Structure 1
Amino acid sequence: MELKFVDPRSLKDNPDKARRSKSSPQADALLLATIKAVGIVQPPVVAAETDGGNGFVIDEGHRRVKQAIAAGLDEIAVLVVPRADDGGAMRSLVTTIAHEQLNPVDQWRAIERLVALGWTEEAIGIALAQSVRQIKKLRLLANVLPTMLDHMAKGDMPDERQLRTIAAASLDEQKEVWKAHKPTKGDRQVSWWAVANGLAKTRMYARDASFGDDLREAYGIAWVEDLFAPADQDSRYTTDVDAFLGAQQEWMTQNLPKKGVITEANTWGEVKLPPKAERVYGTPKKSDHTAMYLDREGKVKTVHFRMPEAKKAKGKGAEDAGGDDEAIVVSKPRPDVTRKGIEMIGDLRTDALHEALSRAPIEDDTLLALLVLAFAGQNVRVDSGAGGEFRLGGRFGRHAASLFDAEGKFDFDMDALRIAARGVLIDVLSCRENISKSGIVGIVAGRAIGADGFLANMGTEDFLSCLSRTALEASCADTPVLPRVRVKDTRAALVEHFKEGHFVHPSALFAPDATVLSEWLAKSAVTEVEDEEALHAAGVASEDQVAEGDATEEFDEDYREAAE
């Protein structure tokens, strides 16, 4: 074998070459670009002509020679080998079959090696006749769990969207999901849909953001480039949904028109307008109002609405009555605590309430009062003989069963009764924001037994991220932490401060709202007439009837039976 430098135009095609079909224009363009960038990496193999000529016949590398000519090379290196008896037909076939295109994982590994050697993505793209965007896509495989990469290298690749989702997740998250969905022995396929679905996160896109860099920095939002998105589209996104929505809410507050209101979308994604408001679909008038809200994708939307004309007042002072132009529309800024935060408070309250019911000292009269209170909660349903379709879970049977002795007699001591009563209260009372919520009675019960002292530390990243800028800065009171320019920095400082301390947000305390409590008491109060009717239905004389001597012997007898 001998290495020589020859003019590629002097080389002759082998009539026994294995590859006869034309290669694709894309493949030829790729090879041409590679040759122009780095030359011919692997010299073609040639053999001397057997018909007395002084030239060489190509055994391997017909496409390389052709593209070298197209690249304008005057000279290339070739390996000269002895002419085979079959004219090189077998050698050409074996070489062609042995060549296999690199899978994406191996391409990525090769690209990473080039980058480590000092190659830029632009230079690699030119050499491989691929766009820089494609090189960046391959480099995203660096974010994929190594065990996943090993499986992908076997040929089982996720589609582009699935790969994008996987690469965007942390390695720890990938490890947990891969553990649940990796193929078993003998199974060569992976459900990449299940893997991607397990790693999917809600994305908020920069193209949907109304806020600028000032609020982005204040809320600590870092954009991530989605390199799989179309080239003509701003694909930057964040998975920090709370921070994105907080910045959007603050932008709306700062840019709210004079006669505007910040509202929200309903379950179907439609805007909620003030009562009696009529939406304006055409050109708004000067007297119309503006409503700003966030849709399901976090975009700021603006609609106009019209309030009904105010009725003119009659009599004295009619001339002072204001018209529609004077109508005041109160804006709705971002709440101090987001919906997620309220749900977290519900969970923390419930845990504290149950802990207090288990451990806090409770007098017997308070315990009995709490039992009555608990069953007045909005989450309690009872199948009652008095009528009505209510229900109560059978889980309370275990508490009642503890009051029976081994022979099935209803027999207990006060300690057993106290334990059973506490167990019933724990099962019934709840402050969670779901169907189990007891309502105002759960807050009252918590205050009665000092459940505030059992609330967990809320000075955590999870909870503090649910607070508005105003509420977050208010939480710095009575601490050495000073509000920062960026909300993210203020939050981080508070988290660090409360690592060794204990923080409870005022909204989480067991402090019943006076208005809600008054409304509940007014709605639940039993009138004297209703009390008389209840006694009569039970066949028992009222105190007034007994005092006035109106109680009949029948009532007296029934009363004695009820007492017994």
Structure 2
Amino acid sequence: MTNMELREVDPRILKFDSDNPRRIAADECEDAQLIASIRIVGLLQPPIVYENDAGLFVKVGKRRTLCSIAADLATIKVLVTEKDDDLDAMRAYMENAVRAPMSLIDTWRAIEALAKNNWTEQAIAHGLAMTVRDVKCLRLLGQVHPPMLDHMGHGDMPKESELKVIALASLDDQASVWKAKKPKKGQQAFWNQIAAALQKTKFLATDARFSDEDARAFGLAWQDDLFGPADEDNRFTNDREAFLAAQQAWLEKNLPKNGMIVEMGDYGQMKLPPKAERIWTKPGKKDFIAFAIDQSSGRIHEQPYRMPAPVKNQNGKKAETHADDATPIPAKTKPDLTSKGWDMIGDFRTEALHKALAENPIDDTQLIGLLVLAFSAQNVDVKTGQPYGTFKTLVGPIIQGGHLTQDPETLRQTARTMLAHVLTCKTGWNSSGLPAQLAGDAIGADAHLPSMGSEDFLKCLSRPALEKAGSDLGVLPRDRVKDTRTAVLGQIGEAPYIHPLAHFALNDEQIAKITRPAETYDDETDPEAEGDVNGADAEMPEHEPAGMEDDAFGHAEDDYGEEAA
């Protein structure tokens, strides 16, 4: 650049060229950062201007000029040159575009260098237009294992959430994980795996019911999560045993008279006493409150509930029950679910069971047990609905040279496929019945069940069953079934929803049924002589009462979701 003169001028007299390529203003935070920098160290790079009869016009450096004015500088230095229409447009564009921001690692190193020169974190934050919290967070990089930090310096940076986990782990743990998961030269690190290996369960101070004095009594020390929201209590601890013990002690000390400590179930629901009814309004004097500690998060959950009133006899006294008393005949009620609903659950369960058989870990002992279950199922001799010859085809891969293969993986895979062909939860003549549910419960098939939060499925629920499902979700019943169903669907939203009836685990009645001795017949008695030769009077699926017709469902709004016309 020729004929260039360095001149000191008042930035307020400068005018701006209309051909400036930057038409959209920079972000306010970026301008604030530049203003703060100018106030601390001055304007490092003079703007480039040209002069004509109308005055000085900024060709390159408009943003620097405006930020200098905002920083209250009386004068700034500018480079005065001749106007060059051929090159000025390119210079203006390159000035704005050909810039590379500093990496996070370089920013951290700059902050550490300033800190060594006795800059306080407050002064650094002011000079770089950052918050003190941002400065503290960046300084956490000093807690990263040095070889890991060197790798980050080459541009392979983890996400902020992953960096947070890494920085909060001990250097010894970081070194151990880095040694096991260090990428090869030229490759990127699997930061998600590294962070997962260093992840520790955090128990939050905001979930603690106990005081700081109680925390000290249990030897619990809080840490501050610098990555959390600035205006919240971000203290936490990884000491699970101390946190849960302190919560338990507080709960036992502060348990109300009508309170009861219960366990939390596998699916995050409290194990209330038998026949207890959850209530969602303010509990009365005769109601109870269950308390449970979530072992995964440490939170204390509360659930008001009500026990049914005792049955009274004709004299108004509590009725006594005796083992030899005649069992009262319950009033006839409609089942909770229509046959279509059970068909849908059967399809859902079968698909989930087969996915679990294909994907979930199953050890050899469990596999043998599953095979025994499969061939004890009620659809075996084998009535699976599969095409003729299917099982012969399945056996092919495990036969090598006329002998059973000794390859464990081939045997396991064939066994899984065989089980998937035999075990089915579908309703009808080829159902495997309770053994299929037991198998699904054993291998965690619940995890593969699809969401049942659809109008099509909820329409299969009776009114009491729908209101019970709504109660479990915190939805109060409405006057109309349709409105209750809409409210339940709204509460479920996009979240996955599994109806309790669809879970694979057996209830008490099913357990008693499958464990009772099988019925036997005399040699002189033909079990098919008194019934249909195809077994029509044989055991039906436990959820479908014999003789139940589809027409019994959905014709009145008071019973099922299909409102009457």
Q: Could you state the TM-score of these two structures normalised by the residue count of structure 2?
A: 0.48
Larger radius of gyration: 1
